[in-house]
Amino acid sequence: MARATDERRSFMHIRALMAQTSEGLIATGPAGEVRVFNETAQQLLGKSRDEVVGKPYHALGEPKLEAAIERIMRPRARRDPQRVRLTREDRTLTATVAPYMCGDDRAAVVTIRDDTALEGYRKQAEAILASTGDGLIVFDPDEVVTYINPAACDFIGVKPKSVLGKRKSLWDLLDMVAEEGFDPAYDGSQVREVRLEKPAHRILDVRTDPVLDESGGYLGFVATLHDVTAEREVSQMKNEFVSTVSHELRTPLTSIKGYIDLILEGEAGEINDIQREFLSIVKENSDRLVELINDMLDISRIESGRIHLKVQPLDLADMAAGAADTFAAVSEQSGHRIVLKIPPDLPRVAGDRDRVGQVLLNFVSNAIKYSPEGGVVTIRAKLEDDMVVMSISDQGIGIEKADQKKLFTKFYRVDSSLTREIGGTGLGLSICKSIIELLGGRVGVRSTPGKGSTFWFSLPVARKDLVRTPALEGAGVGGRVLVVDRNPEVANLVETYLVRQGYEVEKAYSSSEALVKARELKPRVITLDVMLDDGDGFELLQTLKDDPETADIPVLVLSIVCDEGRSCRMGAAGYLEKPIEKSRLLTIVNDLVGSVASPVVLVVDDDRSIVSLLTATLKTKGFSVIAAYDGAEAMAAVRKRKPDAMLLDLQMPVMDGYQVIEAIKTDDELRDIPIVIMTAYQIDRSRTDILGMADTKVDKPFAPEELLNRVEALLASEPKEGV
């Protein structure tokens, strides 16, 4: 009796506990009759114990739940719990049905939870995510899509159903709609631009971020798709506008600048001092205008990705020396001293000679410009890991911390009476930053107001296999040049420049006239403005190159449109942008005339002073010269243009003279190039067989005259075709 009371007591106890739980509990017996139906279950399902207990589970009146109980009770059914959602008008219930063993038989136990609040939060969160303009896609760690918002569906043109729960990588999804050539390879950046062509043309910034739980565990990642189509298009329109306007400004400026120069040089007769002074002011301002236009064009090229960088190994020590030379006269006048502190063993960097030169000149010119009291400008360089850092320090006015951050943005100038007086566009540093970053480097500044500033840039060390391709150095000989330009003023200007250098000039103002004159006169060089009234200048270029009679005449394209690449592909021998700079024009024309007329000698030596000595000597004798500073450069030059003779040093870095001889003398195309070896060192006995392949040898030190005689003798003994 006491035992029965105990059992009853513990049963009551369990009942009381069950009544207290916040989850509904239902249990069936093996025959499917409901045995347990606690208070919470009564509340949630709205049924009393009397209606249900002792009756078959169908009495629950919940078809979805009954189906799940039925499945679970089947003998040999799966044992994992089944989840069923019971939706009411005002609430969401989640029932979990699991099997349990009642003696030897299977029965079902059901727990019911009220998820109304949770479901409310979920709906709210989804509503928030759905209302953002950005696309969102959530992936689990196996790249299964667990959520996609309406904006993302809209961008990629999919229905949520077709991707949810599917294993699809982000790039698979984007690949379905991206423009051709989409490369899904991870490029190391977290944000990348993807251009879509379907369902609509769109440019998206795609950003991926990992999703981590509280303890840092990886739950997958979320991709954010941000539509930047409008921004990109506006910026492209702006770039095109700037570029068009700048080009339009260049044409009249070409005439203004050119004719002022001629008047100032006395070509229009004597001018008096006042006229000279006034004209100098006009010249100064037109120069500034050209500078501004060039800066704006540079920026629009950089921003629209139309800048062409020719990356080759650069010797920054050399370039720094060049910059110091360029500013020698200016710095002397302004009381500045330019000091170079560059280690002798500085490796070469990978960069574009003209563009890196532009950056260096900009930094040095700023250092002088913003140090009104004079002082020392120091150019330093050092190796840091695999980058070379070059810095330019001055003792000038310095820059406040707040300004330092903004200096490298477009048009930013420190606002002070001094900078206003000094004048400038505020574009230089922003161009420098873009150029250096495009080349894989960085820029920065350190400064103390009143003490001075240090601007620096870094560039990656050149890889061993990156080789400079040396080209012809200038050589001036007269001859006939055909100038083709629809604008008579510009044609006259070019004519004046050339005539004063001893060239004979013929002019043509249209494509048809140019063609007739080219065939008839066989000029040594043609300068061609590709904008012609009676046809596209490129077509004329093509016709000239296709016709065997004119194919060999080098054509120098003068253009206000940046189309160097196209010109060169079509066979132009040179390219020059307007407004024409006299010295550049003359250098190129001289080169081109030299390249058809005089024999070309390739001088190869790592000692630059020897190269420049030989270059000067050879040029005075009417040779054209290509200078190379190591074997690899020499081979690059030879492949570009076969020289008529070669002066070769043996001991050189990268690729030595022996290797060059071997490469040339074992190549059927090249073996007839006569080689003169210049050496001061002991000959490597193990390689004398290679030396035997060369044509002649002179020992250092030698008199340049002696070398010249050898070259002339070699050229005379080996007459070659085409020379």
Residue among 424 and 470 whose Cβ is closer to ligand ADP: 424
Residue among 243 and 366 whose Cβ is closer to ligand ADP: 366
Q: Which of 42, 404, 425, 469 binds ligand ADP (CB under 6 A)?
A: 425
Strands 24-28 and 34-37: antiparallel
Q: Give the Cα separation of 395 and 367 in Å (integer).
A: 8
Footprint of ligand ADP on residues 62-91 (CB under 6 A)? none
Choose one: 423-431, 460-468, 619-627, 646-654; the region binding ligand ADP (CB under 6 A). Answer: 423-431
Nearest Cα neighbor of 30 from 56, 63, 66, 6 is 56
Q: Give the Cα separation of 430 and 438 in Å (integer).
A: 12
Residue 367: other Cβ atoms inside 10 A: 27
Strands 105-114 and 535-536: unpaired
Choose one: 254-262, 349-357, 383-391, 407-415; the region binding ligand ADP (CB under 6 A). Answer: 407-415
Residue among 433 and 578 whose Cβ is closer to ligand ADP: 433
Q: Give the Cα separation of 417 and 422 in Å (integer).
A: 9
Residue among 445 and 663 whose Cβ is closer to ligand ADP: 445
Footprint of ligand ADP on residues 483-522 (CB under 6 A)? none
Please give the C-alpha separations between residue 641 and each of 260, 437, 471, 605, 626, in angstroms, as whole numbers: 39, 32, 8, 18, 10
The distance of closest approach from Cβ of residue 409 to ligand ADP in the complex, given in angstroms and rounded to an integer, is 9
User: Helix, strand, or coil here: 501?
Assistant: coil
Footprint of ligand ADP on residues 321-380 (CB under 6 A)? 362, 366-367, 370
Question: Site mask, ligand ADP, residues 437-456, x = CB under 6 A?
Answer: ----------------x---
Sign of the torsion angle spanned by Cα atoms 187, 189, 193, 199: positive
What pairs with residue 85 in β-bridges?
Answer: 94
Provide the residue count of the chain.
723
The distance of closest approach from Cβ of residue 321 to ligand ADP in the complex, given in angstroms and rounded to an integer, is 20
* Amino acid letter, residue 385: D
Please identify which residue in the block is written with the tokens 């984007």. Answer: 174
Q: Give the Cα separation of 543 and 538 in Å (integer).
A: 9
Residue among 306 and 410 whose Cβ is closer to ligand ADP: 410
Residue among 82 and 365 whose Cβ is closer to ligand ADP: 365
**Crossing angle of the two packed helices 488-499 and 582-597, in degrees rounded to 10:** 60
Backbone phi and psi for residue 338, each to the nearest 5 degrees, phi listed first: -100, 120
Q: Which of 413, 566, 642, 687 binds ligand ADP (CB under 6 A)?
A: 413
Residue among 370 and 658 whose Cβ is closer to ligand ADP: 370
Q: Which of 135, 428, 579, 594 binds ligand ADP (CB under 6 A)?
A: 428
Structure tokens at 325: 């030379």
> Does the footprint of ligand ADP cover residue 470 (CB under 6 A)?
no
Q: Give the Cα separation of 306 and 311 in Å (integer).
A: 15
By CB atoms closer than 10 A (0-12, 13-18, 19+), residue 271 is middle
Residue among 393 and 595 whose Cβ is closer to ligand ADP: 393
Angle at 420 between CA 417 and CA 421, to 5 degrees: 85
Residue among 340 and 570 whose Cβ is closer to ligand ADP: 340
Question: Site mask, ligand ADP, residues 290-319, x = CB under 6 A?
Answer: ------------------------------
The distance of closest approach from Cβ of residue 203 to ligand ADP in the complex, given in angstroms and rounded to an integer, is 29
Footprint of ligand ADP on residues 230-269 (CB under 6 A)? none
Q: Which of 108, 302, 414, 540 binds ligand ADP (CB under 6 A)?
A: 414
Q: Which of 29, 372, 426, 440 binds ligand ADP (CB under 6 A)?
A: 426
Cβ-proximal residue to ligand ADP, closest one: 424
The distance of closest approach from Cβ of residue 401 to ligand ADP in the complex, given in angstroms and rounded to an integer, is 13
Choose one: 71-79, 396-404, 518-526, 670-678; the region binding ligand ADP (CB under 6 A). Answer: 396-404
Choose one: 246-254, 314-322, 394-402, 478-486; the region binding ligand ADP (CB under 6 A). Answer: 394-402
Q: Which of 424, 523, 579, 643 binds ligand ADP (CB under 6 A)?
A: 424
Nearest Cα neighbor of 249 from 286, 304, 302, 278 is 286
The distance of closest approach from Cβ of residue 393 to ligand ADP in the complex, given in angstroms and rounded to an integer, is 9
199 prior amide bond cis, ω within 30: yes
Residue among 344 and 423 whose Cβ is closer to ligand ADP: 423
Contact between 649 and 604 under an 8 Å Cβ cutoff? The reply is yes
The distance of closest approach from Cβ of residue 337 to ligand ADP in the complex, given in angstroms and rounded to an integer, is 15
By CB atoms closer than 10 A (0-12, 13-18, 19+), residue 647 is buried
> Does the footprint of ligand ADP cover residue 397 (CB under 6 A)?
yes
> Does the footprint of ligand ADP cover residue 419 (CB under 6 A)?
yes
The distance of closest approach from Cβ of residue 424 to ligand ADP in the complex, given in angstroms and rounded to an integer, is 2
Residue among 446 and 621 whose Cβ is closer to ligand ADP: 446
The DSSP 8-state label assigned to residue 58 in this structure reads G
Residue among 375 and 470 whose Cβ is closer to ligand ADP: 375
Q: Give the Cα separation of 20 and 24 in Å (integer).
A: 10
Choose one: 60-68, 141-149, 411-419, 514-522; the region binding ligand ADP (CB under 6 A). Answer: 411-419
Backbone phi and psi for residue 107, each to the nearest 5 degrees, phi listed first: -140, 175
Choose one: 218-226, 253-261, 393-401, 433-441; the region binding ligand ADP (CB under 6 A). Answer: 393-401
Residue 477: other Cβ atoms inside 10 A: 16
Q: Give the Cα separation of 656 and 659 in Å (integer).
A: 6
The distance of closest approach from Cβ of residue 256 to ligand ADP in the complex, given in angstroms and rounded to an integer, is 22
The distance of closest approach from Cβ of residue 331 to ligand ADP in the complex, given in angstroms and rounded to an integer, is 14
Residue among 376 and 531 whose Cβ is closer to ligand ADP: 376
Strands 443-448 and 452-460: antiparallel
Q: Which of 107, 302, 429, 632 binds ligand ADP (CB under 6 A)?
A: 429
Q: In what order do the strands lie in the sheet with 675-679?
A: 624-628, 600-604, 645-649, 675-679, 696-699
> Cα dihedral angle (55, 59, 62, 68), rounded to 10 degrees?
40
The distance of closest approach from Cβ of residue 389 to ligand ADP in the complex, given in angstroms and rounded to an integer, is 17
The distance of closest approach from Cβ of residue 692 to ligand ADP in the complex, given in angstroms and rounded to an integer, is 57
Residue among 443 and 461 whose Cβ is closer to ligand ADP: 443
Residue among 367 and 528 whose Cβ is closer to ligand ADP: 367
Distance of CA 42 to the CA centre of its chain: 69
Residue among 258 and 398 whose Cβ is closer to ligand ADP: 398
The distance of closest approach from Cβ of residue 314 to ligand ADP in the complex, given in angstroms and rounded to an integer, is 22
Residue among 108 and 293 whose Cβ is closer to ligand ADP: 293
User: Helix, strand, or coil here: 363?
Assistant: helix
Residue 90: other Cβ atoms inside 10 A: 6
Q: Which residues contact 644 (CB under 8 A, 6 or more apart)?
A: 599, 600, 601, 673, 674, 715, 720, 723
Q: Give the Cα separation of 145 and 158 in Å (integer).
A: 13
Q: Give the Cα separation of 164 and 126 in Å (integer).
A: 14
Count of residues touching ligand ADP (by CB under 6 A): 19
Q: Which residues bind ligand ADP (CB under 6 A)?
A: 362, 366-367, 370, 394, 396-397, 399, 407, 413-414, 419, 424-429, 453
